[in-house]
Structure 1
């Protein structure tokens, strides 16, 4: 398969990659493609997978190897998903922990962010605190042990392939880290303001709605926590966001809220 234009931000939980990717995509008029937003969409296209708990029970090295194998299987699906967006020469900013330096041979620009262990712990604890998920709490230490193995793998692969790796300390200088990420990715073509930009932001928001609803059903959650949606006004450089649930997003769309920049 011919790869579409992509730039990557990979790394471990707590490194700030999702926040930096969202900010950069909106300021630079880039289509944003977080791999995690396609998790449930990919399940029907993958062979049956072992439960995460079963992999973790085998130890951190086994669980890390299983995560890498699933990530490699998903890579072809990520490429197909980006192709589907019809972006032409404008690269999708693809973000996620599933992206490893050894997979990036056809990617023009990429960067990996690795936090220290305490940053990763805080990130996972904060995510668990947003929803009542006893299974996640029970697996926390095993997940952190797996994360440590994956971080070392990323560090080694980046060094072997001469890829940019940014270490994120316990007290990050986020402006400096963001600037380093932008420097690593370089100047990039932009989406045209107006319909093209608006259409891609809507595509991303709908993907977030689909993923949220499927996660809610799978995890048996009574309600979803609010999460950010991008403004769909199509104005160049618009970084306005609105936090809400998928149901609230649907109501806002019907009212035209996310399509009118002046209302933001």
Structure 2
């Protein structure tokens, strides 16, 4: 599928806790775009994806919390996490194709992997990836009360948290390398960058109006 079918779509991908959701909501409201959050479709896509197409998803679902986050190394996690491998990305595309094409769409989420999005673009200005530093990610998770949301459900929360943070760092590094390889746009997200400044940078990258105030 070429990019013309999704020429009305702009994409915001990136690492976890980078400000994707908040930034996308602000820009969609300012520019009259339909906002599509891929995080909200994960459960539905997990149900729709058959085992032969999503083997890592099925394996992950069968693990206990400790098997997922305590007993495996952080370097193993990005290679076996289904969304990081692009499983069910075709269902994201199907959802976007089902939306009316007479209105612009802004889609966001960590599932938007550069090498999968690149063939769907009509130009590099249609997509941007937000790459948070470990310092920014941890501060953002703490600020919204999510730092221990997953790790706290394991038998060894400190180790699980350390594994999760390292996994996310490795994933962000992977996104950085992929955007460079495909000539795509990326924004490094670190303190003291605030929400309004980030929205302005993303707006410039995507050719949108930046929200004021």
TM category (shorter chain) comes to 0.7 to 0.9
Shift of 1:84: 2.2
Question: CA-to-partner distance for each residue in 1:197-232, whole Å, 9 max, x for gaps?
Answer: xxxxxxxxxxxxxxxxxxxxxxxxxxxxxxxxxxxx
TM-score (normalised: structure 1): 0.63
Aligned partner (choices 3, 22, 26) of residue 23 of structure 1: 26
| 1:110 corresponding residue in structure 2 | 127
Q: Please say which structure displays the higher CA radius of gyration.
A: 1
Q: Is this contact kept in 1: 2:35–2:106, CA < 8 A?
A: yes
Q: Is this contact kept in 2: 1:13–1:124, CA < 8 A?
A: no
TM-score (normalised: structure 2): 0.77
Stretch deviating more after TM superposition (62-71 or 116-125)? 62-71
Aligned partner (choices 124, 138, 150) of residue 141 of structure 2: 124
Q: Is this contact kept in 2: 1:102–1:157, CA < 8 A?
A: yes
| 2:54 corresponding residue in structure 1 | none
For residue 171 of structure 1, give the secondary structure of its aligned residue in structure 2: coil
Aligned partner (choices 45, 70, 76) of residue 90 of structure 2: 76
Shift of 1:9: 0.5
In structure 1, stretches of 5+ residues that fail to align are: 189-236, 238-264
CA distance in 2, matches of 1:168, 1:119: 7
Stretches of 4+ aligned residues off by more than 6 angstroms:
129-133
2:104 equivalent to 1:91: yes
Question: CA-to-partner distance for each residue in 1:167-204, whole Å, 9 max, x for gaps?
Answer: 1112114333212211111259xxxxxxxxxxxxxxxx
RMSD in angstroms over aligned alpha carbons? 2.7
Structure 2 vs 1, CA of residues 187 and 153 (structure 1 numbering), >3 Å: closer, same or farther?
same
Shift of 1:132: 9.5
Question: CA-to-partner distance for each residue in 1:1-51, whole Å, 9 max, x for gaps?
Answer: 565342110111222111000000111111111110111111111222414
CA distance in 1, matches of 2:176, 2:203: 20
